[in-house]
Amino acid sequence: MNKKWMLSLLLVVTFTVLTACNGGDESAEDNNNEATQEEPQEGGESAEHAEMPEPDLEGIPEVVAEVNSEEITREEFETTYEVQFQRTAMQSQMTGQAVDQEQLKGQVAESMVGAELLKQEADSRGFTASEEDTNAYLDELVELNELQSQDELLAAFEEQGTAEEELMAQVEQQVKVNQLIAEEAGDTEPTEEEMQELYDQIIAQQEQIGGDEAEIPSFEEMKPTLEEQIKTQKENDASLALIEELRENADVTVNL
């Protein structure tokens, strides 16, 4: 699908913001999902082999939303929705719960509104994307997709119909948004107490689901992971707060 990678990767910040408030339950959910996968559904069919539902795209308006006169089009929405729907549908197969597509459409529309507000604010504050920052972000995408080089990444986007110039424009825009979020978040370096608190939560979740506490690495071994998770959570919190503030003063219309 054209631009599927583009939207799933470059809007990941906003989709993460949507679930930021549920971040503390993530470990428990993952363990529960693994257990659910092994339970057969009616008729002996396992959850992982259940038929994948299809996204419902009927009745989507030509202009899904307007953000300070900038339009979010049906084409943009549908591509983004299909990416998020696939992720949600895979999770629903493991939990056995049907996807609430109307609710998901609303979440995706809000995520796109949030992304547009962040882009506009980054431009308004005059952030710029240096060649060094842009290359660093491209390297992150290369690593995320388990590719070998930026050339391979560019070729992959080209195959999906995204020209290099368009991709670079999107990457530069995301670099500026990342700078905006970093400025809003301020010092995200976690304290020893914050890391210990998160580690204790993980231990408690493991005990709650009846898992073996011995399977969890020691606090010292998990420190790098704990540090990264706390930093990400602080950035997500800053993003949420900024989007809420920007939306209060913005002219936003959602047509779903």
pLDDT the model gives residue 214: 66
pLDDT the model gives residue 216: 85
Could you report the per-residue pLDDT of 45-70, keeping only the tens digit for each?
A: 444 455 778 899 999 999 999 999 99
Could you report the per-residue pLDDT of 184-212, keeping only the tens digit for each?
A: 999 999 999 999 999 999 999 888 887 66
Model confidence at 13, pLDDT cuts 50, 70, 90, reads very low
Prediction pTM value: 0.77
Q: What is the DSSP string of the chain?
A: -TTHHHHHHHTHHHHHHHTGGGGGGHHHHHHHHHHHHTSB-GGG-BGGGSPPP----TT--SEEEEETTEEEEHHHHHHHHHHHHHHHHHHHHHHTPPP-HHHHHHHHHHHHHHHHHHHHHHHHTT----HHHHHHHHHHHHHHTT-S-HHHHHHHHHHTT--HHHHHHHHHHHHHHHHHHHHHH---PPPHHHHHHHHHHHHHHHHHTT--GGGSPPHHHHHHHHHHHHHHHHHHHHHHHHHHHHHHTS-EEE--
Could you report the per-residue pLDDT of 93-115, keeping only the tens digit for each?
A: 888 888 999 999 999 999 999 99
Q: What are the structural domain ranges in the chain?
A: 4-8+58-124, 127-184, 186-248
Could you report the per-residue pLDDT of 109-148, keeping only the tens digit for each?
A: 999 999 999 999 999 999 999 999 999 999 998 988 888 9
Could you report the per-residue pLDDT of 27-48, keeping only the tens digit for each?
A: 334 434 443 344 444 444 444 4
